[in-house]
Amino acid sequence: MELNRRTVIAGAAAAGIAATTLGGTAQAAVPGGKPVRHLFGRLADGTKVYRWSLENGGIRMKVLSYGGVVQTLEVPDARGRHANVVAGFDGIDDYAAKSPYFGALIGRYGNRIGNGRFTLDGRSHQLSVNDGVNSLHGGAKGFDKRVWDVEPFTDGSDVGLRLYYTSVDGEMGYPGTLRSKVTYTLTRRGEWRVDYEATTDRATVVNLTSHVYWNLAGEGSGTIEDHELTIAAARYTPTDSGLIPTGELAGVAGTPFDFRRAKPIGRDIRAGHEQQVLAKGYDHNWVLDKGVTARPEHIATLRDPRSGRTLRIATDQPGLQFYSGNFLDGTLTGTGGRTYRQGDALCLETQHFPDSPNHAAFPSTVLRPGQTYRTTTVHTFGA
């Protein structure tokens, strides 16, 4: 199928989300109601960027048309008190100039491709290089820096957004015109579901993901090292000094990379393992025990013992990139007015493995004409 582009007035205090103005009428997102749009800002070239507010199942979310960014995501703690649990900025200028992918959709290829180069069907492709000699998250102007077309929807008890972007043949060096559709759905059960789809007119590689930075104690509240993490993976992919996988699938047993049972992230983060030294903490792909599956299966749980908030992640993907916020350095100020320092937020990116196009033994990321790329990740919140 070709992927084409195709309210109730309430007080801000009652809705729990700041009121917005659209056409002179004060509006706020209503639980289960149609998402509300307002102008967030303009890029340097004058392009308008909109922010959508939506709420359902106890979750409140704000999403930008720029990069599909999840700017804020509020969930209740064990006492029912809401807090924003994702890192982000107040203004579009910061997102455009210095964002480390806060909350963004990532494409065409999530994570790294070594030397920014791969060969497909006998033809070599040179990609945009933006991480030393490597290509990271789609290159210098990946999907995170594009303005997406956004379509709000309600479907029964669900509410959400459909986001569309077409990447032309040769963009950032990738072959084929790729038509992408990403659907954000908030369910009445307290889930945030992300469905990715893409088609191409020429053989290419695709690895879409979301780059939300989590702190379940609340954005800007400090370290995530006391968060407890579980990952259903007995292996991970060690990297070289450029964080490119060596091709080995190494066992986690007896190493700081063993999260098969819940443990605080900070317990082993300074263990001195050579892989941690290279990454300045955790910044690796875990090889999920379940592999590629037909439907999302539970693969990770994150829990903040202070607030009682939990995040359960289910996916059909074979890998999970756990990044412990190693390169946050105190130079970025978030939506709450606080600076982000090393380890103040973490990422859990469902994906195929980094540099897969250069490793025949890794699950394939090739997409061909006539095929449809589909993958789903579900985030379930509790307390």
- Residues serving a catalytic function are 211, 349
Can you point out the beta strands (E) in 122-238?
123-126, 135-136, 149-155, 158-167, 178-186, 191-200, 204-205, 209-211, 228-231, 235-237
Among 282, 302, 292, CA closest to 236: 282
Please state, in angstroms and rounded to a whole number, the distance separating the CA atoms of residues 377 and 298.
10
Q: Could you please report the per-residue DSSP string of 60-100?
A: EEEEESBTT-EEEEEEE-TTS-EEE-B---SSHHHHHHH-S
Please state, in angstroms and rounded to a whole number, the distance separating the CA atoms of residues 99 and 89.
8
- Residue 162 Cα to chain centre, angstroms: 16
Single-letter amino acid code for the residue at 18? A
Q: Which residue has the tokens 């494409």?
A: 107
CA separation, residue 47 to residues 39, 40, 42, 65, 90 (Å)? 11, 11, 5, 11, 18
**Is 153:143 a contact under the CB 8 Å cutoff?**
no
Alpha-carbon dihedral 287, 291, 294, 300, rounded to 10 degrees? -40
**Is 116:128 a contact under the CB 8 Å cutoff?**
yes
Q: Which residue has the tokens 């088609």?
A: 199
Q: Phi first, then psi: give them for residue 240, nearest 5 degrees.
A: -90, -170
Q: Phi first, then psi: give them for residue 278, nearest 5 degrees.
A: -60, -40
**Is 346:324 a contact under the CB 8 Å cutoff?**
yes
Q: Phi first, then psi: give them for residue 348, nearest 5 degrees.
A: -130, 90
Q: How many residues does this entry show for the chain?
A: 383
Among 292, 123, 289, CA closest to 205: 123
DSSP state of 18: -
